[in-house]
Structure formats: structure tokens, C-alpha cells
Chains A and B, each alone.
Chain A
Amino acid sequence: MSMAADERNARAPWALTAPALMLFVGVLLIPLAMTVMLSFHDWGQYKGIEPVFILKNWHEIATDPYYAEMFWRTFRIAILTTLLTALLGAPEAYILNRMDGRWKSFFLLVILGPLLISVVARTLGWALLFGGNNGLVNKLLMSAGVIRSPIPFMFTETGMVIALAHVMMPFMVLSVWAALQRLDPQIENAAMSLGAGPVTIIRRIIMPQIMPGVLSGAIIVFSLSASAFATPAIIGGRRLKVAATLAYDEFLNTLNWPLGAAVATLLLVALVLIVVGSNALIERRYAEVFR
């Protein structure tokens, strides 16, 4: 009897996951492997894709400074976006957490809601706000006396970072929010009773405890920003290419699929390394304290 039950128990998880596993192997792993293979194929204007194994595309990416510049731009934008979301999102999450129940859930909805609203619509909003030299943002900044002459936002990295930060902000707020939920509600009172002032409490007590949340939020924001497509395509226009928009061009305009596949493969590998690496670093750094 017990043998049969054990055997059934051992087989059950595999029977239940088999369909999904087959789906993932068939239409995720195989296509990904095919893409990696594709990056080693040859391509010519007239002959199309030739299924041979050569390093031509990888060589081109490694030697042509255009690609180095493009990847550097991609990661620069991702880093600045990450910094901006952390700098604004972490304090906002803290403020949000101190609000009264009803306001808290209302503003949480307002701030997290955009996460689920079409990226195209949100980026369109920024395109309208930036809108050339007499866009709303410039008018507002000039009337407030922050700037004298209009700053170009459309088709600039500044504009891309701002719009991307807006798109990614909910991830950061959410991540810090989750860290704040793990805080002992009496912890600030405890620090205060020992003589700590508000600045000390934030610097010595709150910041160290929400840091893992900020960092894991930063990883999410960074990896999504580095591979973002819609926002760079709409705000950056045709000239300011990032990895995702370049790959798109190679595939659908130039039709040089192998080169596009190489760019995409490189992006994927770089991101996986960065994400896995920083996750491991964070876990090691905070293992002692937060296990």
C-alpha cells in the first residue's frame, strides 16, 4: 500500500508539470538555441541567410565602434534610469508607508497602476509633454525660473531617461515597499527612545534595512531598462539607437537577421550575467543579517 502511494507521489509532480515543460522546451528553449545559432550564420544582401558557422557577426560587433557606442549608450541610460528611480522611488515608498490606511491604498493604486497601463500610451504622454521646444515641461520649467532656454527632451538621452524612469518607477516603489513591510513597526520608536533624531533614524535605522529592497528593485529596473524597446524607439527616434531598437532595425528593416541575433544574444548574456551576479552579491552581503 505505502509503496504504491510513494510511487504515485513520486510520479505525480512530473505528470503535472510535463505539459508545461514540453511547451517550454519546444517553444522557448529551442527558439532561443536557434537564435544563438543564427548569430553564427552568414548573411548577404542578395544571398540572404546562409546556414554556416562563422564569427563574422561577432567580429563586426567586437570591432566596429558603432556597436560599442550603442551598447555603452544602452547601459548608460539603464544606469541613470536606475539611479533616478532609486533616488525618488525609495523616499516615496517610505512616505507612502507612513500614510493613513485609506490614503495609503489610494496612492499605492495611483503609483502602481501605471505599471499595467500600455507602455505605448505612457510614452506617448511623455512625447506630448516634451513636444519639441515649446512642450509643456519646458514651459513649466521656464515659468518656474528653473531654466532660461528650453532643453531639448525629444530625441535625447535626457528625455529617454526621464520617460524610462517613469515607466520603471512602480517596480522600485514596490520593491522598497515590500522591504518596508518587513520592518518592525516599533523600530523607529525604539531608536527615538534611545535618543536618535529623525535624520539619524533614517540614516542609521531605516536605510540599512531597506537597502536590500532598493538593490533588488535596482536589478529589476536596470535589466528592464537595458532591454526596453517602446520608450527608446518613440522618445529616442531613429538616430539614438539602443540594443533593442537596433536589433529591431536589423530584423525588420535591414533584414540582416544574423547580425540582429548576435546583438540580441549579447544583450541577453550580458543581462543574465549582471542580474545573476548582483543577486549573488546581494544575497551574500545580507545573508548574515536577514536570514
Chain B
Amino acid sequence: MAYLELEGVAKQFGAQTVVDDFSLSVGKGEFISFLGPSGCGKTTTLQMIAGFLDPTRGAIRLEGKDLTAIHPAKRGLGIVFQSYALFPHMTAAENVAFGLEMRNVPRAERAERVRDALAMVGLAGYEDRHPRRMSGGQQQRVALARALVIKPSVLLLDEPLSNLDAKLREGMQIELRQIQRTIGTTTILVTHDQNEAMSLSDRIVVMSQGKIEQIGTPQETYEKPASAFVSQFLGKTNDFAATIDRAATPARVIAGSWSAPAPVGLSGPVTVSIRPERIGFGDAGLNATIVTRIFQGNHWLFQCDSECGPAIVIRQNDGERQPAEGEAVHLAWRPEDMSVRGGV
């Protein structure tokens, strides 16, 4: 049974629909990411779960109970805000203790839980610091401890890592993942960073213009994108115009001088989508010329001019000889590595 359930949730501001027909079932302990560009409605959806906004339509249920009927102060969700929203006039410990105070947790137990929570996020010894005297990463940890100490039924993270520099962000991702695994809190992360979504979540909800584009595991959304939007948003990709020839037996999908057995169902013009690292240089396949060759340390990036338009190829720097600029090559890939969508 679903733990947290959103059913046909929509939000309108005046005539503008910001979120439309959003349905999702979250299992207990799951880590879900809402991924999309800014303005796609992911934060609005999070705010509706938190209760800061009321949905125009649809239902939000937690363990079968209607969540929208409960005042945000009583929902018992833990939230980490993008700006952290720490109370600047309180010390780290006072910040973390605030939620426990609101729940009338006895003083002794409160002190202990605050200490444990700060230790869990690696801030033991920082109890008496004020937020403005802490670094961004430390503030972020206080915010996390403050949200987790109340043992929330769901943890909501609104772009929590976007204010950190790249190196710190990577470290925090790993740590966040470990903490979430340890305590097993159901978590929803809002982010515009596909790497963050992929490295943290069990499942990703890719959103665009208020609608869900795809729900799936990181691997599914990356390798079998349901739409052109998903395939492009989740990293570099090649989209080739192709046709499926049902007259041949067995039916084949053909792009230029490349062809492979066609998947069932589709026919006529289709789009073949293939990640650049899954393309190899073979003896046969799509005819192409290398336009530029860029060395990037652990891999090579090739920009090619192919029969079906520009293509990008990424090859591991495995010591093998790589084609030079201007060289004619054949691009080839395994049929199971591509995804085929109807239309061009």
C-alpha cells in the first residue's frame, strides 16, 4: 500500500496552471526526486505536500488519511528549505530543539535528542554557534538536523544543496544518502540537477511545465526516456530521425546506412535516441565525419557530422587509438541501448 499518495493534484494561480494532474504513489522509506527546470511546478508540488499551498484539485493522502485537511503545523513533516530558513537569533542547538519544544518533549529528552541529531549530521560541538557564524555547509546540516529531529513522517528537501559549491555538494549528497538509508525516512527531494536526482533517489519524477513527463528509477529515466524532454534533460543525447520498415521481414528500423531489427508496435517515421557513450566506431553503421575531437581526461568527446545530422560520441580514454579530426567513421550501437519513439 502506498504510504504517501498524490492523486490528480493540480494548482492554479488565477488562469495559470502551475501543476496539472499530478499523481504519484510513494512507498514507505522511498527516496523520490522531483526533477525539472525552474518553473516546472516541482516546488509548488512540494509546498502543497507541506501545506503552504492548497491544491486547486486532487487529493494528497498520508497512510490513507487526507493530508490537505490538516494544518501545516500539525502535519509533522520535516522540511529543509533552499535558504535553510534557520532562526538567526537562536543557536544551532536552539534551532534543532524548536520543533521538540513545540511538541512539549521534556527538557532532558530534548537535550539528548538535539545532541544526537547534531552528532548525526557531524556537528557535535557546534551546539552554541549562531547560524550566521557558520559556513553554508554547516547551516545546511543544522537545517537537516532540525527537520529530522522531530522524526518526520516524510522529509521534504527543497533544493537543499543548490547554495553549496560543487565540491561540498558532492560530499553532502553522499552523506544525505547515508543518513536517509540509516534512518529510513521517506524523502522527497526537489532539484533541477539531474546528477543529484540520479545519485540520490530510488525513483525520479521528471517534470516539465506542470506535468509529469516520466516516473522511473534513475536508470530507467536515463536509458529509456519517455519523451524527448526527458532524454535531453537527463544529460547529453543524440536524436536521429529514422523510419521503421514493416515491409521487410523481420521489420527493421533504418537511420541512414545504419539499421537494426525494429521493436514491436511502431511503424513509419520514428526518433531513435541514443546516449553518446553508447555509440562506438565500427566497421559499418551511420556514416559520419569527425568535426572536432576534445580531450577531457578520462574520456574523449567527438562532435561528428553524420548522415542524420550532428552527433556526439563519448569514448572512454582506455588507451586505444581514437579517430582524428576529419576522419570518416561509422557510428554503431546495440539495439538495446537505444530508445525508439514515434514521430520525428
Contact = CB atoms under 8 A, between A and B. Distances in A.
A194 B95 CA distance: 10
Interface in A46-67: none
A15 B299 CA distance: 61
Nearest to A190: B85
Given A184-B85, A209-B88, A194 B50 contact: no
A193 B102 contact: no
Contact of B81 (A189, A209, A289, A291): A189
A190 B160 CA distance: 13
B27 interface: no
B73 A290 contact: no
B225 interface: no
Given A189-B81, A190-B87, A195-B103, 14 more contacts: A184-B86, A185-B83, A187-B85, A189-B72, A190-B86, A193-B77, A194-B98, A195-B102, A196-B73, A197-B73, A205-B87, A208-B89, A291-B132, A291-B133
A187 B98 contact: no
> Which of A190, A193, A195, A290 has the most C-beta atoms of chain B within 10 angstroms of its own C-beta?
A193
Interface in A253-279: none
Interface string B97-137: 01100110000000000000000000000000010110000
A186 B85 contact: yes
Contacts of A204: 98
B74 A195 contact: yes
Contact of B87 (A185, A187, A193, A197): A187
Nearest to A288: B130
Interface in B125-179: 130, 132-133, 146-147, 150
A99 to B, nearest CB: 17
A209 B87 CA distance: 9
A263 to B, nearest CB: 41
A289 B99 contact: no
A204 B90 CA distance: 10
A175 B83 CA distance: 24
B76 interface: yes
A237 B81 CA distance: 57
B29 to A, nearest CB: 21
Interface in B65-97: 72-79, 81-89
A196 B79 contact: no
A214 to B, nearest CB: 13
A192 B73 contact: yes
Contacts of A209: 87-89
B98 A191 contact: yes
Contacts of A185: 83
Contact of A186 (B76, B77, B81, B98): B81
B52 interface: yes
Contacts of B50: 189, 193
A186 B84 CA distance: 8
Contact of A192 (B72, B82, B86, B88): B72
B81 A195 contact: no
A149 interface: no
Given A184-B85, A195-B150, A290-B88, A190 B79 contact: yes
A267 to B, nearest CB: 35
A-B pairs with the 3 shortest C-beta distances?
A194-B99, A195-B102, A190-B85
B79 A195 contact: no
Number of chain A interface residues as a range: 20 to 34
A288 B85 CA distance: 18
Interface in A219-253: none
A194 B132 contact: no
Interface in A148-194: 184-187, 189-194
Interface in B238-260: none
A196 B102 contact: yes
Contacts of B81: 184, 186, 189-190
Nearest to A183: B88
Interface string B187-219: 000000000000000000000000000000000
Nearest to B81: A186
A195 B88 contact: no
Contacts of B102: 194-196, 200
A195 B73 CA distance: 4
Interface in A77-96: none
B120 to A, nearest CB: 17
Nearest to A211: B89
Contacts of B88: 184, 209, 289-290
A23 B232 CA distance: 67
Contacts of B73: 192-193, 195-197
9 contacts: A184-B84, A184-B85, A189-B52, A189-B72, A192-B73, A193-B77, A194-B150, A195-B150, A197-B73
Given A189-B81, A193-B77, A194-B146, A289 B89 contact: yes
B73 to A, nearest CB: 5
Contacts of A197: 73
A189 B46 CA distance: 13
Nearest to B89: A208
A58 B129 CA distance: 51
B15 to A, nearest CB: 17
A290 B73 CA distance: 27
A31 to B, nearest CB: 44
A205 B102 CA distance: 13
A171 B313 CA distance: 65
B187 to A, nearest CB: 15
